[in-house]
Amino acid sequence: MANTIPCDGLTFSLYKDADKMMMYESYYRDGAWDAGQLVPFHPIELSPAANILNYGQGIFEGMKAYRTVKGKIVLFRPEKNAQRFVRSSEKLAIPSIGEERYLQAVKEVVLANQRFIPDSADGRCSLYIRPVCIGIEPLLGVRPSREYLFYVFASPVGPYFEKVGVVRLMVMDVHRAAPNGTGDAKAACNYPVTMRPKVEAKKQGFDDVLYLDPIHNRFVEEAGAANFFALMENNVLVTPKLGSILPGITRESVIQLARDRFGLEVQERELDVQEVCERAKECFLTGTGATITSVESIGWNGQEYNVNRNDFQLAHRLYDELLGIQLQKKEDPYGWIVELT
Ligand SMILES: Cc1ncc(COP(=O)(O)O)c(C=O)c1O
């Protein structure tokens, strides 16, 4: 296809020519957001005392724009990300940009960067969109900023995990989020704690960390940037209940597809890691980056458990359904797809 970039060689990282792309920015000062505008991708100048640099008052989102088999450029359930962004703002005492402004900014960025949306018939590559909002006021005492920057940039990306489609997860003695904390918001502060465990897991040959709840150190929460599902031996699909995990939009979509398309019973409940390791037939991760990624094994309690006793079948079928809708290869009875062109 003309005027696009090739999918081959793209990984989940910032594009080498990001500085040739457009971004959107809007400032909040004196109690109001300015009109906002599209500008070339550029560095941001901040005071060394800016809230975000010292106290981390920042939130973000992650979405993808796809070039579909119908030749359209589409977003997947963007209003859900807008709603989550507003909820994350509230949680961190950030003045909300509002769902409408958020959606408008995302659309403008996608349309301005059309030529960077990779051509990918199998959906492995797409344009990743990153809306962010940060407190930029210089301050010393701990309090919410009175000035903010909302911006949206984008990058063509390939698959999130280096090994496409299958990962090994490691349970570690680190917790990602506390009850009544910020785990259910897409807040920048949730991620630094995952850096060291991820490095350690990789050193030991795993791809990511599987986090357990911080009270009992027993119930599965989620991976570093993806939600977790286990198909149990009685063919019930179980996913950890909401609370301190991120309410993933892929998670919500997969629950609906599993029920509607495959007639599966889906339970959102506490999921004991021992139950998963010993009795799950199949496990997988869901997320905008991860799409649906099968879990081959889980390292827990000094052992590595093979949790693939189903030949990854359900993950493959769900992947085909989800990608089928996202790439307009399949009907979209839910109205999940928003066409931008
Ligand atoms: C911690 C965490 N959990 C889950 C997810 C999956 O959420 P979504 O499906 O909305 O992308 C993400 C983001 O991708 C995440 O950062």
Question: So what's the pLDDT on residue 74?
Answer: 98
Question: So what's the pLDDT on residue 249?
Answer: 98
Length of the chain, please? 341
211 close to 174: Cβ distance less than 8 angstroms: yes
291 close to ligand 1 (CB < 6 Angstrom): no
106 close to 150: Cβ distance less than 8 angstroms: no
Structure-derived torsion over alpha carbons of residues 48, 50, 53, 57, reported in degrees to the nearest 10: 180
% pLDDT > 70, the chain = 99
221 close to ligand 1 (CB < 6 Angstrom): no
Sign of CA dihedral 115, 152, 157, 54: positive
Give CA–CA dist 290/149, Å, rounded: 28
Q: How far is the CA of 208 from the centre of ligand 1 (A)?
A: 14
Q: 105 or 163: whose pLDDT is higher? A: 105
Architecture of domain 18-157: 2-Layer Sandwich (3.30)
- What DSSP element (H or E) covers 273? helix 273-279
Which of 250, 252, 322 is the best mutation target for the ligand 1 pocket, counting ligand atoms within 8 Å of the beta carbon and taking the most? 250
Protein residue with least CA distance to atom 6, ligand 1 = 287
326 close to ligand 1 (CB < 6 Angstrom): no
pLDDT in tens, 265-323: 999 999 999 999 999 999 999 999 999 999 999 999 999 999 999 999 999 999 999 99
Residue 186 a catalytic site member: yes
Q: What does the DSSP 8-state code read for residue 270?
A: -
Res. 235: pLDDT tops 80: yes
CATH 3.20.10.10 fits 166-326, yes or no: yes
- Which candidate, 39, 7, 10, 43, places its Cα nearest to that of 22? 39
Domain assignments of the chain as residue spans, ordered by start: 18-157, 166-326
pLDDT in tens, 40-64: 999 999 999 999 999 999 999 999 9
CA distances from residue 125 to 119, 200, 273 in whole angstroms, order as listed: 7, 28, 32
Radius of gyration of the chain (CA): 20
Question: So what's the pLDDT on residue 164?
Answer: 67
Question: So what's the pLDDT on residue 1?
Answer: 47
Question: So what's the pLDDT on residue 122?
Answer: 87
184 close to ligand 1 (CB < 6 Angstrom): no
Q: Specify the pairing of strand 166-171 against strand 126-135.
A: unpaired
Tokens coding 28:
């909040």
Residue written as tokens 């597809």?
257
Protein residue with least CA distance to atom 5, ligand 1 = 226
Give CA–CA dist 116/20, Å, rounded: 10
Sign of CA dihedral 180, 96, 101, 112: negative
Among 120-124, 230-234, 236-240, the range scoring the smallest mean pLDDT is 120-124
Give CA–CA dist 224/176, Å, rounded: 8
Question: So what's the pLDDT on residue 119?
Answer: 85
80, 107, 186, 198: which one is catalytic? Answer: 186
Q: How far is the CA of 268 from the centre of ligand 1 (A)?
A: 16
4 close to 115: Cβ distance less than 8 angstroms: yes
CA angle 128, 226, 283 (to 5 degrees): 130
Which atom belonging to ligand 1 lies closest to the Cα atom of 176?
Answer: 1
CA distances from residue 47 to 25, 89, 135, 140, 201 in whole angstroms, order as listed: 18, 22, 11, 12, 35
Give CA–CA dist 300/204, Å, rounded: 12
222 close to ligand 1 (CB < 6 Angstrom): yes
Average pLDDT over residues 227-251: 97
Average pLDDT over residues 212-232: 97
Q: What does the DSSP 8-state code read for residue 1?
A: -
SS3 of 252, please? helix
Which atom belonging to ligand 1 lies closest to the Cα atom of 250?
Answer: 9
226 close to ligand 1 (CB < 6 Angstrom): yes
Res. 241: pLDDT tops 90: yes
